[in-house]
Amino acid sequence: MHFEPHVAMARPLGGVTEEFGHVVGDDIRLAYVHHRPVASRDVCVVILGPIGAERERAYRTIVELARSLAQRGYEVLRYDHRGIGESDGDFEDATIGLWASDARRVVESVRAVFSSKRKTTFLGVRMGALIASELFADGFGDAAIFLGSGDGQTLLRDASRRALVADSMHGNAARSVDDDSSANSPNRSVVGYSAISAGREARVDGYLWRPRLVSEAAAHRFRKPDHGDVRPWLQVELRGLATNARKTLAYTGSAPSGLAASGSASSGLAALGSVIGSDRNGDPRTSHAIALNAPKFWESSPQLVPENGELFDAIGAWCEQIGLEEQAR
Amino acid sequence: MRRSPNFLSQANMQTGSHATSHAVSHAPAIAVAHGVVRRPAVRRKFEVFSWRNEAILATHHVPDDRMRRSNLALVLVNAGPAPRAGNSDLSTRIADRVAQVGVPSFRLDFPGVGDSTGHSYKRLEEFRLAAQEDPLDDVLADVVEQTCARFGIERVLVGGLCAGAVVSIRGARRMGRRCAGLVLLEPDLLDARLAVGGVPAGVRVSVERVLRGLERRRWTSSIGRLARRFYEGLEHGRMPDGISRDVVDAWITLTESRVPTFLAVAEGLTYDTLCARVAVASGFELQPIGARENRTPPTGVSCLKLTGTNHLFTAGEAPDRIPDALAAWSQSFA
């Protein structure tokens, strides 16, 4: 794959340039945005986003997150999966395996372009997190942040359930495209996930789901990195907005984990410190997870772009930590 | 793996003056071979426009070089929170399909939405209000002028879904002859200030709101439908209360000025009933259209009613039928 830039715009804030174009392979053109800081650090963040309606809801938040990271000095690259948004291809022909294969090729190209000296960090959101976990488990990338940890079928079931509820509420339940008997009826047959997985086609959130998408999804499970993995990774659980806005912390695994406080005088690390409280006694390279009382920005909500400053700070601080570690080495 | 020499440099980046150069020929729009429909390829390119201090990002759907060059273009705007691809990529489908019949299409992000710069809209109501009151129509009119100058386009069809349709109506009013037609998909004709509680609602507004609410819910829709018909019988010929008069008046003025409209509504839902009442009250006819090609230039309001779908057109046959019908409608301008 190679990068084919079309336009670039200079951001008024922080002097970060954004470049828009396509990453072109033999069979596909994927739309990308490259956020280029003026003075770039050693960490390059590749954002793997969600699909379908979740992409729409999360889009602006991800744009803001990318801009926030770029203003901190990180190269950020985000792109659309095949058949979705600005990328070419048909959603109907896509599978998670195909998206993962595209991601692999994009990441390989990024490494070639950004120079292999830069540390590649995956930032996966929902479906992007699943794909990032697979790539990371296969040895790609130097660090990873996962927002969401669902398996392939769980993520698809989630999406279809939400679409079904919304459509049923409005009397427009999703229906099988081959169900001719209901074609002219206002009371169309409801197609649940079980029917889809049994081989029926259906429109979910406007996208035509083919049986292959669902059957193939069974092969994709979220692969949480080993605690023995020396590469840093962070699993962020967003718990939604709670009335009690107290920050909570939950660790996965039995090993004590957290980020080292040493050499962390920067404001970014201070922000992360507030998230993880006083449990900063672990090895900075130890795998860990945090939970935040922050909105799940990919879900439907009256808030188009929720306040996610804390999340942005936490991710920025974590990236900063990786950079400090690299410098120390 | 091939590295582009341009990546991380600005060489060869388009700044706007050399985007398209269509060969002028008359290749058929659609070829059918062995029963398989093959449509001309469409290339997508990104464009940056400017408005005041903001950078406006757009996607340009470039028709196949073999297509006859069109001096007409389609410009689609955001419906609200969704980026320029639209809800479920509806705008992308429409732009692809319209470009396949030779009409270049553009989808743009308003300031604060999608990839454009600007302060993000935090709540849906903020965007609805902005669509009716803020200078988004100025953004649209300005970007349309830049588009025409950059690509040698003479006239445009402007449109969008929901609040995007509102901005399109307001923008078209400013464009004068530049606007060849309106594309209104479930236009949000309700007064946004009432929706956010900015002004007190009157009795008629409240009654109409309750009826709409009843009709929207699956379990009360038939009762709601009956109640609405009875109510509309009493109200026959009167403009519904609670609508944005400024927007509706602009639409009526444009229609009277012979600017044709492509109107798509979800049958039986809010904007179907509202548009029907506006049409009755203002004395224009909603002409039903199908997906078949129409070779005569459209006039008046051509209406596509879709059953079994929702306000965002993400259910039923809407994602397929709207692009086809709109492509046929756009082609008839040639």
A48-78 pLDDT per residue, tens: 999 999 999 999 999 999 999 998 889 999 9
- Cβ of A33 under 8 Å from any chain B Cβ? yes
Please calculate the CA angle A312-A316-A317 and round it to the nearest 5 degrees: 115
Higher-confidence position of B282 and A128: A128
User: What kind and span of H or E run contains B62?
Assistant: strand B54-62
Position A262 confidence tier, pLDDT thresholds 50, 70, 90 = very low
Partner A contacted by B168 (CB < 8 A): no
Considering the domain architecture, whether residues A159 and A86 belong to the same structural domain is answered as no
Confidence label for A228 from pLDDT (cuts 50, 70 and 90) = confident
User: What pLDDT is stored for residue B273 in this prediction?
Assistant: 82
Residues 261-300 of A with CB under 8 A from B: none
Interface test with A, best of B13, B53, B89, B221 (most A CBs within 10 A): B89
In this structure, are A242 and A104 located in the same domain? Answer: yes
Cβ neighbours of B85 in A, within 8 Å: 56, 85-86
| B193-210: average pLDDT | 71
Segments forming the whole domain that contains residue A177 = 154-217
pLDDT value at position A281? 38
Query: Which domain CATH number covers A125?
Result: 3.40.50.1820
**Does A266 or A17 have the greater pLDDT score?**
A17
Cβ pair B315:A207 closer than 8 A? no
Closest Cα in chain B, distance from residue A277 (Å): 29
Torsion of CA B210, B215, B220, B226, to 10 degrees: 90
Best mean pLDDT range from A72-86, A315-329, B35-49, B294-308: A72-86
Give pLDDT, residue A153: 92
Give contacts of A3 with chain B, Cβ < 8 Å.
3-4, 6-7
Could you tell me if A107 and A179 lie in one domain? no
Does one domain contain both A160 and A134? Answer: no
Same domain for A198 and A301, yes or no, is: no
Q: Is B271 on the interface with A (CB under 8 A)?
A: no
For residue A5, pLDDT over 60 is answered with yes
CB contact under 8 A, A304 and B1: no
Q: Which of A172, A200, A217 is the last residue of a domain?
A: A217
pLDDT above 90 as % of chain A = 38
For residues A111 and A18, membership in a common domain is answered with yes
Domain boundary among A186, A217, A248: A217
**Are both A144 and A160 inside the same structural domain?**
no
**pLDDT at residue B85 above 80?**
yes
Q: Which two tokens stand for residue A224?
A: 């949480």
Answer with the one of A198, A217, A236 that is the final residue of a domain: A217
* Residues A41 and A178 reside in one and the same domain: no
B87 and A53: CB-CB below 8 Å? yes
Distances (CA, A) of A312 to A19, A165, A204, A295: 22, 31, 31, 12
Point out the least confidently predicted range of A240-244, B80-84, B86-90.
A240-244
Cβ–Cβ < 8 Å for A297, A306 = yes
Max avg pLDDT among A161-170, A236-245, B97-106, B292-301:
B97-106
- A 91-110 residues with CB below 8 A of B? 91, 108-109
Instruction: Assess whether A233 and A121 both reside in one domain.
Output: yes
Over residues A6-10, the mean pLDDT reads 83
Nearest neighbour of A203 by CB, restricted to B1, B311, B315: B315
CA nearest to A166 within chain B: B310
Average pLDDT over chain A reads 77
Mean pLDDT (chain B) is 82
pLDDT at residue A131 is higher than 90: yes
- Pair A252, A201 in one domain: no
What residues of A are in contact with residue B122 (Cβ under 8 Å)? 303-306
Residue B152 banded pLDDT, cuts 50, 70, 90: very high
Residue A39: its pLDDT value, please?
Answer: 80
Which positions in chain B touch A52 (Cβ < 8 Å)?
88
- The per-residue pLDDT for B14 is 42
8 A C-beta contact, residue B61 and residue B104 = yes
Write the secondary structure of chain A as one string of H (helix), E (strand) and C (coil): CEEEEEEEEECCCCCCEEEEEEEECCCCEEEEEEEECCCCCCEEEEEECCCHHHHHHHHHHHHHHHHHHHHCCCEEEEECCCCCCCCCCCHHHCCHHHHHHHHHHHHHHHHHHHCCCCEEEEEEECHHHHHHHHHHHCCCCCEEEEECCCCHHHHHHHHHHHHHHHHHHCCCCCCECCCHHHCCCCCCCCCCHHHHHCCCCEEECCEEECHHHHHHHCCCCCCCCCCCCCCCEEEEEECCCCCCCCCCCCCCCCCCCCCCCCCCCCHHHHHHHHHHCCCCCCCCCCCEEEEECCCCCCCCCCECCCCCHHHHHHHHHHHHHHHHHHHHC
Check B310 against A170: CB less than 8 A apart.
Answer: yes
Average pLDDT of B287-312? 79
* % of chain A with per-residue pLDDT over 70: 72
**Model pLDDT, residue B218:** 67
A24-28, A224-228, A248-252, B219-223, range with the lowest pLDDT: A248-252
Interface of B with A in 292-311 (CB under 8 A): 307-311
Query: What tens digit of pLDDT does each residue of A190-207 get?
Result: 456 667 777 788 888 889
Average pLDDT for A14-37: 91
Say yes or no: A275 and A196 in one domain: no
pLDDT value at residue B137: 94
Tally of domains in chain A: 2
For A117-127, the pLDDT digits (tens) are 678 999 999 99
Taking an 8 Å cut-off on Cβ atoms, the answer to whether B14 and A167 are in contact is no
